[in-house]
Every structure is written in C-alpha cells, then in structure tokens.
Amino acid sequence: MTVMKIVFFALFYFLQNSILKDSLFIPVNVSNRHSIEDVKLTAIGKFGILRKARPTVPSHFHTGADLQRPNVNYLNEPIYPIAKGIVISKKTNGPYAQLIIEHKIGSRKIWSLYEHIAGILVSVDDSVYPSSAIARFMNKEELNKYGWKFDHVHLEILKIRPLSLQPDKQNPNRHYSSYSLVCYSKNDLDKYFFDPIFFFTEFWREQ
C-alpha cells in the first residue's frame, strides 16, 4: 500500500469518527451540548428508579431521564433532537405531549422520545436536526395549569422500535408508544432502553 493510500485511509477513519462523535447532542440549551457536565436531573429523574404504583398505573421502572430546565427562561426554553432524524409520532394532549424520533447513527437505528413538552414545532415525517428546536419546555401558565412537577423534559432512548399504535381522533399523529409502562423488571428495562446519560458518555468516549 502506498503512503498516499495509507494517509487517505487514516484521514477517512478520522473524519468518519469525528462525524459520528459530532452526531449526538444533549437535547437542551446548555453551554456544551457534547458534554453532560451542565445537565441536571430532577430529584426522581434518574434512569432506572422504581416508581410507585398509582391508581391506574402499576409500579414500574423509570425508563428515561428527566432533564431540568437549564436556564431561567419560562417563555421559550428550547428542546432539540439528540441527533438528525425523522419524526415518527406526535402526541399533543396537555402535559403528556410527546414526540418520537427515529435516528440512524453509524450502522444502527435508535429512537428518542421527548415528553412533557409544549409548543411543538414539527410534524410527523419531518426531518429534524440537532441545531433546530423541535419544541420547548412548558411556560409558567402551562405549569400553573398542569402542575410544576412537569418542569422538565422526559427523555428516553430506545433500543427497539416503539410500539405501533392506531391513531385516534384526539391524537391523529400518534403512531407509536414507548414501553415505559411495561418495564416491571431490570431485564425489561435493559431490553428496551438505554440509560440516556450513560448512552451519551459512552458514545462520546468510544468515538
């Protein structure tokens, strides 16, 4: 192999890994979206915490990470996609408004879910990019209406394609659902979900 070819393949490998490293972003407006240093979780927002049973919901494990509002902006604090992707599902009813996005990173597909969001800016089948907001955190009026417990974005990163749903009149663009209420064991959790914080740190470390 000539020196020129060696240099070419070395450069190709470097650029490929640099592109991969730069393809994943923190979904909120922190100073460095390639670092988790400025990301803060809510008191019970850590991945894998056992959630108590509620009247209509059995006890289950927390399948995502609840990211706190990063700035004192109660007007239009943005939420971004974690990577380039396609919107595959949109739910708009109140405090459980939700987007699900399909991504291809390297050779594998993953799915990201954003819940407790407001002011959704995208539609199903839209291409999205980590530089452009897809929604925002709830403003004070919405938090006063629905409860300040929703002052965060619930982020999930799924290993497996979300559950297919039949859209209804209330949510005609909701085509998929997460596995969030069927994770009754650690095995269920590991089967369907990545720990978002661990996923970010490991992804950047390996590139």
Q: What is the CATH number of domain 3-206?
A: 2.70.70.10
Give the 3-state secondary structure of residue 5.
helix
Q: Which residues contact 78 (CB under 8 A, 6 or more apart)?
A: 28, 29, 133, 135, 136
Residue range 16-43, pLDDT digits in tens: 444 455 699 999 999 999 999 999 999 9
Q: What is the pTM of this model?
A: 0.89
Q: What is the pLDDT of residue 207?
A: 67
* Chain centroid to CA 137: 14
**b/e for 124-154, b at 16 or more Cβ within 10 A?**
beeebebeebbbbbbbeebbeebeeebbbbb
Q: What is the pLDDT of residue 60?
A: 86
Q: What is the pLDDT of residue 21?
A: 55
Going from N- to C-terminal start, the domains of the chain cover 3-206
Alpha-carbon distance of 174 to 59, in angstroms, equals 25
